[in-house]
Amino acid sequence: MTNLSMTKKAELDFSAWVLIKQARIEQMLEQALPAANLAPNTLHSAMRYSALGGGKRVRALLCYAAAEMCDTNITIADAAASAVELIHAYSLVHDDMPCMDDDDLRRGKPSCHKQYDDATALLVGDALQSLAFEALSQPMLCNNTGLQANQQISMLNILAKASGSTGMAGGQAIDLASVGKPLTQAELESMHHLKTGALIQAAVLLGAVRGSTTQMAAVRSYAANIGLAFQVVDDILDVEADTATLGKTAGKDANSNKPTYVTILGLDLAKQHAQQLYEDAITTLAPFGDSAQRLRELAGFIMQRSF
**Chain segment 266-286, per-residue pLDDT in tens:** 999 999 999 999 999 999 999
Q: Which residue has the higher pLDDT, 217 or 143?
A: 217
pLDDT tier at 254, thresholds 50, 70, 90: low
Q: Which residue has the higher pLDDT, 247 or 216?
A: 216
Q: Which domains does the chain have, with CATH numbers?
A: 13-303 (1.10.600.10)
Residue 20 has pLDDT above 90, yes or no: yes
Query: Residue 194 carries which DSSP code?
Result: I
**Chain segment 283-302, per-residue pLDDT in tens:** 999 999 999 999 999 999 99
* Distance of alpha carbon 95 from alpha carbon 181, whole angstroms: 20
pLDDT tier at 250, thresholds 50, 70, 90: low
Name the average pLDDT for the chain. Answer: 91
Backbone angles phi, psi at 67, to 5 degrees: -65, -40
* Distance of alpha carbon 260 from alpha carbon 103, whole angstroms: 18
Residue 9 has pLDDT above 50, yes or no: no
Query: 3-class SS at 176?
Result: helix
DSSP 46-84: HHHHHHSS-S--HHHHHHHHHHHHTT--HHHHHHHHHHH
* Distance of alpha carbon 77 from alpha carbon 68, whole angstroms: 9
Residue 69 near residue 292 (C-beta atoms within 8 A) = yes
The pLDDT value given to residue 6? 40
* Distance of alpha carbon 32 from alpha carbon 52, whole angstroms: 11
Q: Which residues, in sequence order, are bridge partners of residue 110?
A: 105
- Global model pTM greater than 0.85: yes
